[in-house]
Chain A
Amino acid sequence: MLLFRSEEWIDKWCQRNNLERGEVLTLQQVWEIAKPWYDNRLSLEFRGRSPEQVREIFKQAGLTSKFWYI
Chain B
Amino acid sequence: MDNNDSLLWQVRHFVYNHFADTTLPPNVEETAAHFNISTEEAGEYYKELNNRHAFFLEPETLTVRMAWPFSAIPTDFKVHANGKTYYANCAWDMLGVPALLKCNAVMDARFTESNESIQLEVKDGKVTNSELLIHFPVAFSHWYDDLVFT
Contact residues of A with B, CB < 8 Å? 1-7, 9-10, 12-13, 16, 19, 21-28, 30-31, 33-35, 37-39, 41-44, 46-48, 54, 58, 66-70
Contact = CB atoms under 8 A, between A and B. Distances in A.
Contacts of B134: 1-4, 24-27, 30
A30 B122 CA distance: 12
Contacts of A25: 133-134, 136
Contacts of A42: 13, 16-17, 20, 100
Interface stretch (B25-33, B39-47, B58-66, B90-98): B90-98
Contact of A22 (B130, B132, B139): B139
B124 interface: no
A12 B114 CA distance: 9
Contacts of B1: none
Interface of B: 9-10, 12-13, 16-17, 20, 52-54, 68-69, 76-77, 90-96, 99-100, 109-114, 116, 118, 120, 122, 127, 129-141, 150
- A10, A25, A30, A46: which has the most chain B beta carbons within 10 Å? A30
30 contacts: A1-B91, A2-B91, A4-B112, A9-B114, A10-B113, A10-B135, A22-B137, A23-B136, A26-B131, A27-B95, A27-B130, A27-B134, A28-B130, A30-B92, A31-B130, A37-B96, A38-B69, A38-B96, A38-B99, A39-B100, A41-B16, A42-B20, A42-B100, A44-B9, A44-B10, A48-B52, A67-B136, A68-B140, A69-B140, A69-B141
